Amino acid sequence: MLADIAERRRPAADALKDWGLAHRFAGSGDRAAIASLVYDGLRRRASATWIMGEETPRATVIGMLRLQRGLAASTIADLFDGSRFAPEPLSDHERERLANGSLDDAPPAVAGDAPDWVLPSLQTLFGDDLLPELRALGRRAPLDIRINGLKIARDEALARLGHLAPEPTPHSPMGLRIPLGEDGRGPALHVEPEFIEGLYEIQDEGSQLATLLAGARPGETVVDLCAGGGGKTLALAALMRGHGRIVATDADLRRLAPIHERLRRAGAEAEIRTPRAGRARADVLEDLDGTVDRVLVDAPCTGTGTWRRNPDAKWRLRPNSLALRVSEQAQVLDRAAQLVRPGGRIVYITCSLLPEENDDAISGLLKRQPKGFTVIDASTVLSEGVPALKPFVRLTRQGLQMSPVLTGTDGFYLSMIERAG
């Protein structure tokens, strides 16, 4: 599967699904264990092959077992014993590399397991913290859920979900963190009775915090312009508690499809405007231009902040992908600028760490709208939203950045822009 993913540049989930269909004799436990090996191998692909001295899928797995899982060389050798279902025994060369291979002289792209062409941008953001942050992006992500305040309080949910051993999330007052198993996989939360009842949604703490910082208030008209499957729409509805108007839409009607069932399950209300397919699609938000209190732009992006969850994505990322996303971000920001009323606000969010998609996108909007918009200072955004979060984010030129090392979340960016009254 590692070879298939690398050669065909395909998502890991697709390769795993195809393998499972072709090997139906493998039980769910085997498939889960294999998936965990694949994802861990992708997390440490560059560093693992560096210490092993060769770029092969086998070297990736062997090096990963040492670097990611911390197994001793003797333990790895015992696993590679050539017996039925086991890999061939380690060669003398592999044993030597396991014993002596080192990342001491590895370049940052190798030591941090990242494409080298994005390092200048990440260096701009992280400075001396570049390598620690890259290594944190190579670790497994935690499993967080957002408690649905429309139906249950977090303390009550904590007791009711006791069988999952949850803990409150460090920063979000809406979140709980569920422990992962040794293989890095969590329980099947989507089959729990509490999920089916709509008491919680699976959502990274960073995404929860971004919604809180968006500052939506009861009574406002809020547009979720890139709603996707509705994660932030649901969180907004819980914060506003039915007082006000939420309008959700997305340019990709396929991504929007799950939102209806999720709203029903959560007991939340939002107006869903689905774009029409075809070339002559009408603007489904035209009647709202210049009237919206708050426009949430959860912009399409490269997803560099989610590499803990999607390690295969970093190896598929190319400069032309970034250029496409930057273009899309400019378009959606310009549309938000049309929607927001005088004195209203645009909240721009990405799950990216690249300044080109974050600060630079906001600077581009301000150049295109030189008199109409100003950035609200990030310290003010934090004070109004989650004051205790300030020591755990990086303040940037135009907003704030969360990161795995500093915040313990995925890499979310947020900027708030106000239209002149």
Residues annotated as catalytic are 351
Element (DSSP H or E) covering residue 310 = none
Q: How far apart are CA 64 and CA 49, in angstroms?
A: 8
Alpha-carbon radius of gyration of the chain: 23
Name the DSSP letter for residue 232: H
Closest C-alpha among 327, 286, 296, 277 to residue 228 = 296
Residue type, 122: L
* CB-facing half-sphere around the CA of 202: CA atoms within 13 A: 14
Q: How far is CA 64 from CA 80, 155, 383, in A?
A: 14, 39, 42
* CB-facing half-sphere around the CA of 373: CA atoms within 13 A: 26
Across the beta sheet with 143-147, the strand order is 167-168, 175-178, 143-147, 200-202
Q: Is 298 annotated as a binding residue?
A: yes
Q: How far apart are CA 333 and CA 252, in angstroms?
A: 16
Closest C-alpha among 155, 289, 143 to residue 205 = 143
Residues of each annotated binding site for S-adenosyl-L-methionine: 250, 298
Residues of each annotated binding site: 250, 298
